[in-house]
Structure 1
């Protein structure tokens, strides 16, 4: 029986995408995609999620790609412009789960500690959680098992009675290896259907 629901945040409840910023800075789509794929890479960004400072991360790229200084500095200088807003249909599912009173609900997020406060100020629904575990604060991130274990231990969660939701299949597989039933998030509609059809969660 599911007693605890654990949400990822980015791309599940919050729409975040560097494209929202960089389409303002690039006139050429191909050049923008090259910059996002090869310079401000997801691997580089994940090191900030794991605790590396934004300053150190920026200086590292500037030393490697000085010709891209303006666009590199924009990544964190204009980071808020990458936030597209809440994903309303998923937030509504969250609201109904919370209102039911049947579940403890937590967030487990890969997010820089230095930017997470911006999200907390902007999105009221982040205050609905019974607890939030932020990778940048813990200095470890998904998919490493010790990050999941932080939440399980801190809130005395039985993995077999929890349900984890994440848009990254890599992170879902890691949760399943720890014995946590998990859903690979693809859309709010698919999530709602899987809640009902697989886990018997009626909302």
Structure 2
């Protein structure tokens, strides 16, 4: 096994809690089934990811309202109340990040699907985002995970050897593409599980 010298963190769902339901569950009076229908059919994850890849949020909102005028109020809430969907730091993972930083034995970067329009809000809120050796924000690069170009961009920009790196992401789809490129991958489920998985790479925190 190659010696790991670089750790690549996803942000949302790994280090930062982000949940649209923080806004929408109240709007649907606690009815998760109706809320999920809305996310599956109106403000879908594919639609949101298009903005993560650099599409303007205001334009995306107007286009969606034109398609589904009967849902206008809810559609406008998606980005209009986006800041309320941003939860707290996932403290257990932040502690893991802190240990990597303090060990000084690893290059530590972030690779996130995040709109360039809203990422400054996260930068202001979470001090640990200043700890990274670099952050690739999909919205700034006009592409996103799981497209291979954003992984290649990350490897090239920070002089990372794929086989010597580990990518930590909560989305299995993103991990699978990383592995195709030779990057080691861990699907994040909890800080405790991450610590156990890292031991497979002889990393003991």
Aligned residue for 1:51, secondary structure, equals coil
The offset of 1:174, in angstroms, is 0.2
User: Could you list the runs of 5+ residues in structure 2 that have no partner in the other structure?
Assistant: none
Alignment of 1:128 with 2:123, yes or no, is: no
Residue pairs, 1:100-119, within 5 angstroms:
100-119=103-122
Aligned to 2:15: 13
TM-score, normalising length: structure 1: 0.97
CA distance in 1, matches of 2:85, 2:56: 19
Aligned to 2:27: 25
CA distance in 2, matches of 1:28, 1:119: 27
Aligned residue for 1:141, secondary structure, equals coil
Aligned residue for 1:27, secondary structure, equals coil
CA distance in 1, matches of 2:128, 2:30: 36
Alignment of 1:38 with 2:38, yes or no, is: no
Aligned residue for 2:117, secondary structure, equals helix
Q: How many corresponding residue pairs?
A: 202
Aligned to 1:170: 173
The offset of 1:26, in angstroms, is 2.0
Question: Alpha-carbon deviations, 1:76-109, whole Å to 9, x = none?
Answer: 1110110111111011111111111110100000
TM-score, normalising length: structure 2: 0.96
The offset of 1:24, in angstroms, is 2.6
Question: Alpha-carbon deviations, 1:98-126, whole Å to 9, x = none?
Answer: 11111010000001110111001000111
CA distance in 2, matches of 1:56, 1:95: 38
Which of 58, 62, 67 is the aligned partner of 2:65?
62
The offset of 1:28, in angstroms, is 5.0
Alignment of 1:142 with 2:180, yes or no, is: no
Which of 181, 184, 187 is the aligned partner of 2:184?
181
User: Could you list the runs of 5+ residues in structure 1 that have no partner in the other structure?
Assistant: none
